[in-house]
Chain A
Amino acid sequence: MEQPFAIETRGLSKHFGDVRANDELSLIIPKGTVHGIVGENGAGKSTLLKMLFGFYRPDGGEVLVDGVSVQFQNPMDAMGKGIGMVHQHFMLVEPFTILENIILGAEGSSDLKAAKAKARAELRELEEKFGFDLPFDEPVERLSVGVRQRAEILKALYRGAETLILDEPTAVLTPQETEQLFGLVRQLKAQGKTVLFVTHKLNEIMAITDDVTVMRAGKVVAVRKTNETSAGELAELMVGAKVARAKSREETGEHKVRLSLDSVSANGDRGHAALKSVSLEVRDGEVLGIAGVAGNGQTELLEVITGLRSVSEGTLRYDGNVIANAAMMTDPITLRRMGMAHVAEDRLKTGVVDSMSARENAILGYQREADFSARGLLKLKDIAARAAAYFESQDVRPRNPNLPIASFSGGNQQKLVIAREIARDPQLMIIGQPTRGVDIGAVTKIHDQITELRNKGKAILVVSADLDELLAISDRIAVMCEGEVVGTLKVEDADEQTLGLMMAGEKRKVG
């Protein structure tokens, strides 16, 4: 190839303590291509990106931009060399308008009015060239996630980005928004820009990229032309072993209603109506999946079921007995004793106490049970034995329950949490984001476990942002939008397209 590469790294390394987050990475990204980077959580993708964008300085090796070796001291240097980044969590000031956000830090003049007028003209040109249509004068807080993301991309282009790094860009998007994003990426490529597309979703890699680099344990394990590989091959390369298919669902016979919600409404933290007259049923021996774009009432739904939020209207019943209505609610400890287990949606914020040891976390929520305390005193030996048993049964690594839970990987944390929650043989499992932040190896295991519990006749409700996950493990999928259940489908009738439309609010009769 005669022209230099947009980005090239040679032997790039970064250590954190004893951990080799990036180990001698060499990769080449030709100009004008869409290059995918895939890897499990913890494979070292984020570290690589942070070095490319000047957040971290490499411990060894070098980065070349347009064939010239560069040393970034900070993100400003990287932007100066034409590298732009759209972070997974957007870097936008919510009360500011799009225009204000775009010129923030690049005003070029202390006269804000003139700076805005100048920026507006330049942005119009960019918009035309790349096919954006953004409401420049709307405050960001009023805009949807997809629009915010396009604003971030435009911001990077405005600052002269030739190479755009998109870090897990689809994690928060509906399928329709994802399609729009793909359109934009194609447009960018057509105009000669280079795009680095970082994700762990293989179907997106297959759909949008030209080349793909697979990372595992801090190393580049493979580089493929996208049209010469398959999702299956990439998955194998990512985990280093064949991915086992989820266990098959068996007929479970008996179908008793375990949990029912009858026209339940509840307010959110800001006092708004977060749940609007939600009616659902979860039966024994089935997995009910709850789909929806994050923030459409799923969190509040989990909370009202598990005794963490009061309801303003309607009734919740467990096995026919009222557990919550406008006048009362049942506390989490009583619910656990009735047979309900809860795998919290936000593990680090709610499901564990991150600075406490794995051993102490192994009893969280069950600390008052006779197994773990008597007459006010903790049974330390029994607790240690139980934690060790959880580590053994779930193969949690490293095998040391005395380490703080925060020092375990997301997958190992989740394995411990699941062990804790299934230990008392609950009849109803309420699971939020079962595999968020969990590596692929553990994902399969967790899915298998959920299916196994279902086959044993347990009732399970799963909230997940990952449609593939819901399609893989659910019997029925209910879709939420703006606090309402817009419809419930049998999994046989559900596909990403239909669910995506429902997530955007399109009503669908119960299937």
Chain B
Amino acid sequence: MAGANKKLPLWAEAGLLPALNLLAAFIVSGLVIWGLGEDPFVALSLMIDGAFGFQEAIGYTFYYATNFVFTGLAVSVAYHAGLFNIGGEGQAMIGGLGLTLAVFLVGGDAPLLAILLGIVGAAVFGGAWAFIPAWLQAKRGSHIVITTIMFNFIASALLAYLLVGPLQRPGGQMPESADFPEGVGLSHAHDLFAAIGFSFEESPLNVSALIALACAFAVWFMLNRTRFGYELRVVGKNHSAARFAGIPVARMMIIAMMISGALAGMMGLNEILGEQLRLIGNFTLGYGFVGIAVAFMGRNHPVGIILASILFGALYQGGAELAFEMPNITRDLIVMIQGLVILFAGAMEHLFRDPIEHLFMRLRRKEAV
């Protein structure tokens, strides 16, 4: 009797539904590609090959995925506390700023210390940037969706100002900082593989991918194994019950948002400390927003987020290859395909959920009879 409430088994909830959503997005994309005079099946195989077909491609796919793991986790931690953090983009920017300031503060004499403090700086600045909207929400009731969106603009403007002003590379024309000192940066995957005797084609994939995995584990552990995570989930689901249980609701909301901001801020590890080795304007490239889709598609579970991140990483990398191979398919079309995946996986999630739930109910009833 109570079983009837749980409508779908786990494999359907976490496997079948996302697969159907993805399929629908690909069918619509395929129709558009077909309309442009290209063969959608060839396009698909080019895309898959471009994302996973060779070592460099795999490296790039996981490199992009690393960004999404950070921003997806950020969205999910806030979500578990009942908050919709749309400010991942801005928190990532400010995290990158914190990272850069820490690196320049330490300088090139102690590269390891610069790296460690850079990581801390990214998390602290990202968390601090999230603190303000969180405080406004918890204490003043200002809606966090609105304030985090506004803070994205503020972050973007602040970064733009700093990168054409005080932080600009001396004598430079671009909105970017000076290069990091020699030796300050995260090791690349191909170098690490080479050190243990394997050869791996060059790609931007770096140690921050492991840090992202560690963060995913830490988030899972925190939510499911710690008292803090339990209290955070209670706050996220029911403020009244949280107060009843003696949980300080406002404080929990603020802390959850700061963890969320710190995770988003750590995206800079991959982009800035892993690849660019300098702070550049708008290095976030919308990854903070994609994190929302990643979190939803991954059902706000760290494992789901890792899988969804790899999917989006593959879309980015495979899409770029596809645009390169097929002249009729432009970069914009790739963005459209990504948009369709977000649309079907996030916004139109119920398109397939309700029919599938009905189907399962009917099957169960048949079994019962």
Contacts and interface: CB of A to CB of B under 8 A. Distances in A.
A449 interface: no
Interface string B203-227: 0000000000000000000000111
B368 A367 contact: no
A368 B231 CA distance: 10
6 contacts: A307-B246, A349-B238, A350-B243, A351-B241, A354-B237, A356-B234
Interface residues of A, number: 43
A17 B361 contact: yes
Interface stretch (A188-196, A253-261, A318-326, A397-405): A397-405
Contact of B4 (A16, A336, A406): A16
Contact of B231 (A308, A344, A367, A404): A367
A404 B4 CA distance: 12
A304 B228 CA distance: 26
Contacts of A271: none
A17 B246 contact: no
A404 B237 CA distance: 13
A365 B361 CA distance: 36
Interface in B239-255: 240-241, 243-246
Contacts of B226: 376-378
Given A19-B4, A376-B227, A403-B6, A353 B237 contact: yes
A18 B240 contact: no
A365 B225 contact: no
B353 to A, nearest CB: 16
B243 to A, nearest CB: 6
> For chain B, which range describes its interface: under 10, 10 to 19, 20 to 34, or 35 or more residues?
20 to 34
Given A334-B246, A353-B238, A406-B5, 11 more contacts: A332-B245, A349-B240, A352-B241, A353-B234, A353-B241, A354-B238, A360-B230, A368-B246, A403-B5, A403-B6, A407-B5
B1 A19 contact: yes
B226 to A, nearest CB: 5
Contacts of B1: 18-19, 398
Contacts of A363: 230
A491 interface: no
B37 interface: no
A367 B4 contact: no
A364 B234 contact: yes
Among A331, A367, A406, find the residue whose CB has the most chain B CB atoms closer than 10 A. Answer: A367
B244 A377 contact: no
B171 interface: no
A33 to B, nearest CB: 35
A187 B231 CA distance: 55
B3 interface: yes
Contacts of B6: 403-404, 407
A373 interface: yes
B241 A364 contact: yes
B230 A333 contact: no
B2 to A, nearest CB: 4
B350 interface: no
A200 interface: no
B3 A18 contact: yes
B190 interface: no
Interface in A1-52: 15-19
B241 A377 contact: no
Given A368-B227, A373-B227, A332 B238 contact: no
Interface in A273-326: 306-308
B225 A350 contact: no
A492 B196 CA distance: 88
Contacts of B331: none
A355 interface: yes
Contact of A333 (B2, B3, B246): B246
Among A331, A333, A353, A398, find the residue whose CB has the most chain B CB atoms closer than 10 A. Answer: A353
B238 A336 contact: no
Contacts of B240: 346, 349-350
A455 to B, nearest CB: 28
A18 B364 contact: yes
A342 interface: yes
Interface string A368-394: 100011001110100000000000000
B278 interface: no
A408 interface: yes
Contacts of B228: 376
B364 A17 contact: yes
A342 B243 CA distance: 12
B225 A378 contact: yes
Contacts of A307: 246
B365 A15 contact: yes
A214 to B, nearest CB: 21
Nearest to B240: A350
B233 interface: yes
A364 B244 contact: yes
Contact of A378 (B2, B227, B237, B361): B227
A416 to B, nearest CB: 13
Contact of B227 (A336, A349, A377, A406): A377
A307 B245 CA distance: 10
Interface in A120-141: none
A471 B4 CA distance: 38
Contact of A367 (B5, B225, B227, B243): B227
A332 B241 contact: no
Contacts of A403: 2-3, 5-6
A398 B244 CA distance: 26
